[in-house]
Amino acid sequence: MKIQPEDWEIHPLSYFIEKLESGVSVGAQDVSAGDGAPGVLKVSCVSEGVFYPGENKRILVSELPRAKVTVRKGTLLISRSNTQELVGESAYINRDYPTLFLSDKIWQTTFRRDALFDARWLGYVLASPNVKKRLGAISNGTSGSMKNISKESFLALEVITPPPIEQAQIADILGCWDRAIERTEKLIDAESRLKRGLMRRLLTGEKRFAEYNERKWKMVRLNEICEINRRNLSEKTDPAFKFYYLDISTVGKGKISPPASKIRFKDAPSRARRIVRRNDILMSTVRPNLQAFARFTDDADNVIASTGFAVITAMREADAAFVYHCLFSSETTRQINALIAGTNYPAVNPSQVGALKLTLPQIDEQRRIATTLNACDRKLGLLRQELAALLRQKRGLMQKLLTGQIRINLTGEVV
């Protein structure tokens, strides 16, 4: 049982917040405004207590007179409408954004002048897992995918409140983690941009390694250098055969999250057919524009993928890592988008996968290019691990600091 510190009080959010103001729905292009152009915020602009100003849509010139509420420094933004898991996401705003406008699904706070508290602390309270869970519980709506919070129920939500001095100290400590998280996110963004630039130059031959400059590249179809779905389980497979099953949900962009345990063939879905080996590439053929492509680099046996994937196996003339990086190139993306344009169910078949075209250097140059891009991936992977660790540490600190499980003394030390 959690014990509330004796010098902490309980207050409804209305004790701190005088008014919740929202914007209006305006016509906008589905591109980020940028360059100081006017934009209307999407509900995704607030997440995990962080404000993402780039999550906006460019407002149409004809609609600009209707946009009325801009983002102000020292306030909180709250998503009043979203899925049950995401409704109530919020963030503290540390500067003015005069060209960013609220939509009708975003609230901005006006605080009570007679309440002595730290707005940064309140931002962390609203972003804490416990309060977010409670916000989801008080949301309502007939749609399973979209829930709403009323002003009345939001302002009635009670939170435990430390003295103002301790609020500021808590906010200062968590702010250190926020700054570290922001720095790491910027490093990830910079490394991602570097990799995209290298891919554009290296995979097109615009940039060459000096020792290969005299060699020519050739245009090939993917099925000329790779086998597509080379190995498959038959209907006569032993019903007791156990394997790890990779379905669509286990593969993301460059990432495979294999299940923890095996299943038997007799219990597996009928789509569990594609046999996967080390260095095979899994390419989702359903919504391939989302780029759920990954290279299987483990030595594990008994791995079977869904028929929702094309399993690509490089032949002697091709390096698997090079082919994998080519799948993310702008030229391959253009070809895939052309194949699924105008379809109600965006998908490609194995024959279309095999017909994808790419420019191919000789095998040693392929390996040199792949090594360079693999190094970028490893650096990005380390940075993402660091970011995940910082986020875990912040969540753990929030749980302890915001509930009084650990306290801060007058000198600012955690006790």
Question: Which residue carries 């991936």 as its tokens?
Answer: 377
Q: Do 31 and 88 lie in a common domain?
A: yes
- 262 closest CA partner among 307, 303, 311, 308: 303
pLDDT 10s digits, 166-210: 999 999 999 999 999 999 999 999 999 999 999 999 999 999 999
DSSP string covering 159-172, please? EEE--HHHHHHHHH
* Within-domain flag for 228: yes
What domain range is 58 assigned to? 9-161
DSSP-assigned beta bridge partners for residue 76 = 92
Please tell me the predicted confidence (pLDDT) of residue 413.
61
Q: State in Å, rounded, how far the first CA of the chain is from the last one.
A: 20
Answer for the pair 111, 69: CB distance below 8 angstroms, yes or no.
no
Q: Is 357 helix (H, G, I), strand (E, B) or coil?
A: strand
Q: Do 147 and 230 lie in a common domain?
A: no
DSSP string covering 180-204, please? HHHHHHHHHHHHHHHHHHHHHHHTT
Q: Are strands 97-101 and 39-41 parallel, antiparallel or unpaired?
A: parallel
Residue 305 belongs to domain with CATH number: 3.90.220.20
Q: Which of 345, 360, 375 delimits the end of a domain? A: 360
Please tell me the predicted confidence (pLDDT) of residue 401.
94
DSSP 139: -
Buried b (16+ CB within 10 A) or exposed e, 373-397: bbebbeebeebeebbeebeeebeeb
Say how far apart CA 46 and CA 53 lie, in whole Å: 9
User: What is the total count of domains within the chain?
Assistant: 3
Q: Do 29 and 66 lie in a common domain?
A: yes
Q: Do 138 and 24 lie in a common domain?
A: yes
Distance of CA 26 to the CA centre of its chain: 26
Please tell me the predicted confidence (pLDDT) of residue 343.
83
pTM over 0.85: no
Half-sphere exposure of 171 (CA within 13 A, CB side): 21
70: left (phi over 0), alpha (psi -120 to 50) or beta: beta
Answer for the pair 317, 361: CB distance below 8 angstroms, yes or no.
no
The size of the chain, in residues, is 415
Q: Do 95 and 121 lie in a common domain?
A: yes
Q: Is 95 exposed, middle or buried (0-12, 13-18, 19+ CB in 10 A)?
A: exposed
Compute CA distances 384 → 46, 186, 256, 371, whole Å: 20, 11, 15, 20
Q: Which of 360, 382, 397 delimits the end of a domain? A: 360
Q: Around Cβ 13, how many Cβ atoms within 10 Å?
A: 20
Q: Do 306 and 187 lie in a common domain?
A: no
pLDDT 10s digits, 151-166: 999 999 999 999 999 9
Please tell me the predicted confidence (pLDDT) of residue 34.
80
Q: Around Cβ 118, how many Cβ atoms within 10 Å?
A: 20
Say how far apart CA 315 and CA 174 lie, in whole Å: 52
Say how far apart CA 354 and CA 341 lie, in whole Å: 18
Say how far apart CA 61 and CA 15 lie, in whole Å: 39
Please tell me the predicted confidence (pLDDT) of residue 240.
96
Please tell me the predicted confidence (pLDDT) of residue 174.
94
Say how far apart CA 79 and CA 379 lie, in whole Å: 34
**Which tokens go with 332?**
């391959």
* Within-domain flag for 210: no
Q: Do 140 and 188 lie in a common domain?
A: no
Compute CA distances 257 → 202, 260, 292, 328, 373, whole Å: 29, 9, 12, 19, 21
pLDDT by residue for the chain (415 residues), tens only, comes to 457 888 899 999 999 999 999 999 999 998 999 878 999 999 999 998 899 999 999 999 999 999 999 999 999 999 998 888 888 999 999 999 999 999 999 999 999 999 899 999 999 999 998 899 999 899 887 666 788 999 999 999 999 999 999 999 999 999 999 999 999 999 999 999 999 999 999 999 999 999 998 899 999 999 999 999 999 999 999 999 999 999 999 999 999 998 989 999 999 999 999 999 999 999 999 999 999 999 999 887 899 999 999 999 999 999 999 999 999 999 999 999 999 988 888 999 999 999 999 999 999 999 999 999 999 999 999 999 999 999 999 999 999 999 999 887 655 566 5
Q: Do 116 and 150 lie in a common domain?
A: yes
Q: Do 247 and 282 lie in a common domain?
A: yes
Q: Is 25 helix (H, G, I), strand (E, B) or coil?
A: coil
CA dihedral 407, 408, 410, 413 (to 10 degrees): 140
* Within-domain flag for 206: no
pLDDT 10s digits, 308-349: 999 999 999 999 999 999 999 999 999 999 999 888 889 999
Say how far apart CA 304 and CA 319 lie, in whole Å: 22
Please tell me the predicted confidence (pLDDT) of residue 414.
60
